[in-house]
Amino acid sequence: MTTPTLPRRFSARLRPLAAVLLLASGLAHAQALEVAASFSVLGDLVSQVGGERVKVRTLVGPDADAHAFQPRPSDAREVGGAALVVVNGLGFDDWMLRLARAGGFKGKVVVASDGIPTLAMSADDDHGHHHDHGHDHDRAEKGGKAVDPHAWQDVGNVRRYVANIADALTAADPAGATAYRDNAARYDAELQALDSEIRSTFGALPAERRKVVSSHAAFAYFGRAYGIEFLAPVGVSNNAEPTAKGVARLIRQLKAEKVPAVFIENVADPRLIERIRSESGATIGGTLYSDALSAADGPAPSYVKMMRANLGVIANALGAPTPAN
């Protein structure tokens, strides 16, 4: 009888084919585009656009402060071996460029913030704090003034980040152009919906209730986009030291204007905010995510969830309708 021998014959022929397919699958996985991103927000954006075609290494991870990042020799080697390096720019993560040079990086550095309308820091933005000029992100300038690097706090800016990242991934991996374009379009629609949600939440809030205090000056772009005034005892760097005079002036302002809430940040020491709260009579409104996402089991493990978490906390503290999401 020949029937039983047919499966064995086909099986013998299929075994080499299966091995080839397995090898091809392994090679495809091994050839995922290696991308180094400076901090967790950028790492998430690259992952959203790149999908399974990229392998992202994020230097400053969840709940970690990029202002205080101390790179290790192994970081330089990993950045040097990447096909693409993605930075925020605006002076926020110039240390990433030094790491790339030290690691012998030969690829393209993508500045995600290219093309966005930036904000310059004025002399009195920080309520009397002293800048720590040892931090690179205080050095980017616009018309002779320091540029605020926290542009990702405006969802409209992040739409530009995503377009820049998609262009760079396509240039580095033309075979994935369709996938990158489709992923970027899907994510852009999600960002548009998020932007509309934030605007509608604060739209009916009276002007006198649109003032809050955060640990450091990381939310000016959020404020410009969505009509919220953020006050801070410390400037763009968490490592800057506030002056006693500046903090006292801020507390007097909070009392006079009856600012309803102060917020702790996930990357900042809460003690200064607690002092301001106790002396001004304001309430602690909750935790805001400024320069880093939360861990995977936290409320802000992705950029969209981070912005929704901040929206919910601020809206609740100011008495705006809390978003359903």
Q: Phi/psi of residue 263, each to 5°?
A: -125, 140
Angle, helix 40-50 to helix 177-203, in steps of 10 degrees: 130
Positive or negative CA dihedral for 315, 44, 231, 90?
negative
Of 151, 49, 46, 145, whose CA–CA distance to 93 is shortest? 151
What domains lie within the chain, and their CATH numbers? Answer: 28-120+146-188 (3.40.50.1980), 204-318 (3.40.50.1980)
Positive or negative CA dihedral for 51, 25, 79, 106?
negative
What tens digit of pLDDT does each residue of 280-319 get?
776 777 888 999 999 999 999 999 999 999 999 999 888 8
> How do strand 33-39 and strand 84-87 relate by DSSP bridges?
parallel
Would you state the pLDDT for residue 209? 81
Would you state the pLDDT for residue 18? 47
Of 222, 175, 154, whose CA–CA distance to 33 is shortest? 175
To the nearest 10°, the Cα dihedral for 279, 285, 287, 289? -110
Q: Are 119 and 221 in contact (CB under 8 A)?
A: yes
Return the minimum-mean-pLDDT range out of 26-40, 255-269, 303-317.
Answer: 255-269
What tens digit of pLDDT does each residue of 53-110 get?
999 999 999 999 888 888 999 999 999 999 999 999 999 999 999 999 999 999 999 9
Q: Cα separation of 319 and 199, whole Å?
A: 15
Q: Amino acid letter at 116?
A: I
| 8 band by pLDDT with thresholds 50, 70 and 90 | low
DSSP calls for 138-174? G--EETTEEEE--GGGSHHHHHHHHHHHHHHHHHH-G
Q: Cα separation of 200 and 275, whole Å?
A: 33
The model's pTM is 0.79
What tens digit of pLDDT does each residue of 181-227 get?
999 999 999 999 999 999 999 988 888 888 877 766 789 999 999 99
Q: Cα separation of 181 and 190, whole Å?
A: 14
What tens digit of pLDDT does each residue of 126-155 get?
433 333 333 344 446 655 578 999 999 999
